[in-house]
Amino acid sequence: MIPPTHFLVSWVIAAESTTTRRDRAIVTLAGAIPDIDGFGYPIENWLTIGWDQPLLWFSDYHHILCHNVGFATLVTAGAAWISKGNWKTTLLACLTFHLHLLCDVIGSRGVDNYQWPVPYLLPFSNAWQWTWSGQWELRAWPNRAIGAGCFALTLWLAWLRGFSPLEMVSQKADLRFVAVLRNWWRHKPA
């Protein structure tokens, strides 16, 4: 799935199962962070060293550096540290991280049919390369449906609970956004 979908899936879980702004941010970012190993995408696709030597930093590193148990351990430890030992937030961060990997295995096939296997045991072993024969394409309708569904849920939760992912950037902007939503749909949330 694309990074915004991972983000929204994780946000919906975080918004429903944690109570503080900090914990929601931890659980949401844990579910989006594996894709930082896709940093080479713009470099590989838009920049080249000469015309015949593209930097293959996307092909070489995506799903290799951060979609594995080693990085999962780092992220879970980071979640425990930032949440000051909140076990529920730590477990949820570990869960959204692994849900990201699962979503990639089921719905991230490339247009070239490459399955982008998840080498889960890295950096300790290359033995496991997770793939699934029923995997659909990154741009297939189930991904669009999940993305649209989570986006709608995010708006609804913002209206209902009074916070949205914007709170991670600015609480002021978040309050304004919620006020606009509640103004559009004037029923008072329970």
Q: List residues near Zn ion by CB under 5 A.
A: 34-35, 104
Q: How far is the CB of 160 from Zn ion (least distance, A)?
A: 29
Contact between 126 and 155 (Cβ < 8 Å): no
Q: How far apart are the first and last CA of the chain?
A: 33
Distance CA 178, CA 62 (A): 36
Distance CA 85, CA 185 (A): 39
Q: How far is the CB of 37 from Zn ion (least distance, A)?
A: 8
Nearer to Zn ion, 34 or 165 (CB): 34
DSSP conformation class of 39: T
Q: How far is the CB of 189 from Zn ion (least distance, A)?
A: 34
CA 10 to chain centre: 6
Please give the sequence-ordered ranges of beta strands (E in DSSP) within the chain, or none if there are none.
48-49, 53-54
Nearer to Zn ion, 66 or 158 (CB): 66
Nearer to Zn ion, 59 or 160 (CB): 59
Q: How far is the CB of 5 from Zn ion (least distance, A)?
A: 10
Nearer to Zn ion, 63 or 178 (CB): 63
Contact between 97 and 33 (Cβ < 8 Å): yes
